[in-house]
Amino acid sequence: MAYTTQQLAERFIDQREIQNVMGKYALLTMICKQADLVDKFWSKRAETPTLARNDGWYVGLEAISGYYQAISDNLAAKLPLMRKLFPKELGNKSDEDIFGVGEHFPRPITTPIVEVAADGKTAKGLWQVMGANNSITQFGPFSTWSWGYIAADFVLEDDEWKIWHLQEFDELTAPVATSWVKDNPYPVLDAFAELADQTLPAPTVPARLYEVYSPEREYTAPPRMPEPYETFADTFSYGMNGKEAI
């Protein structure tokens, strides 16, 4: 496809904007703003938006919002325990002031491939995530590596790039400073044991989309790379793509 100088400049701006969207998304997840993600970044008009996690598809904005809200609710539910453990530091502060205390989820995204459709209406992106979860868990304050991949379809909506389909797959989660071919050596601590009951909503369509690393895992490839394409009908989708439900 041959583009004019003006088109090349516009397409460069599109590509940068898409990288900005994903960068902002990663930053908001780091600072515990999961409850804001759908409103800020997701398309409100595209057909069948989906969020894919390792264990299945969240289909539609309501299900996707429910997933993110549950993460936020779980963070809020830790606050009474944190106040009990740190009365001097946290006892007089509001829930709003201390929301996310003890939690930090850096998600540096690297190795970007972004392809904007020739028609300029959609785009696809793939990133590697070199993340970590620093969190209050049943093991106490706990740091784990959280490496994986983000793949997304974007749609241009009122001159803004919005997420249409998002695949966010954990490749490896293991306690920091341990060997990831061995089991987690840390015991559940009595003072934090109640946190083991925290859960997230089940996917709308459960499916084995990406197996987290274990020594028993067969060799597993990252999500498929975007390729140059004319219009969305000419390429593959990061939305529900026929992977068998379970």
Partner 1 sequence: MRQFTEAERIQRVWDKEAAKTVLCRNMYYMAANQREEALEQLWVKEPEHAATASYGKNWGYYVGLDEIKRYYLDGNPFGAKGTMNCHPVATIRVEEAEDGQTILCQWYNASYETRLVNGVLTPLWICEKGNADLVKEADGWKIWHYFIGTDLQTEAGVNYAAQPVDLPDEENPMAVEFGDPTVKMDAYITRYNYYPYPAIPEPYETFRPELGCGPEGNPNYKA
Residues that bind partner 1 (CB under 8 A): 5, 8-9, 12, 15, 108, 110-113, 126, 128, 130, 147, 171-172, 174, 177-182, 213-222, 225
C-beta closer to partner 1: residue 16 or 44: 16
Q: What's the closest the beta carbon of residue 110 comes to partner 1, in angstroms?
A: 4
- For residue 181, the minimal CB distance to partner 1 (Å) is 5
Task: Return the number of the residue (99 or 213) whose C-beta is nearest partner 1.
Answer: 213
Please give the structure tokens belonging to residue 237.
């989708």
CB of 172 to partner 1, least distance (A): 7
Q: Which helix (H) or strand (E) covers residue 75, if one does? A: helix 61-77
Pairwise CA distance, residues 71 & 237, whole Å: 26
Give per-residue burial for 67-94: e unless 16+ CB within 10 Å, then b.
bbebbbebbeebbeebbeeeeeebeeee
| 45/217 with CB nearer partner 1 | 217
C-beta closer to partner 1: residue 17 or 157: 17
CA distance 172 to 213: 5
- Dihedral angle over CA of 58, 25, 54, 125, nearest 10: 100
The two tokens of residue 89 are 């530091």
Q: How far is the CB of 144 from partner 1 (least distance, A)?
A: 13
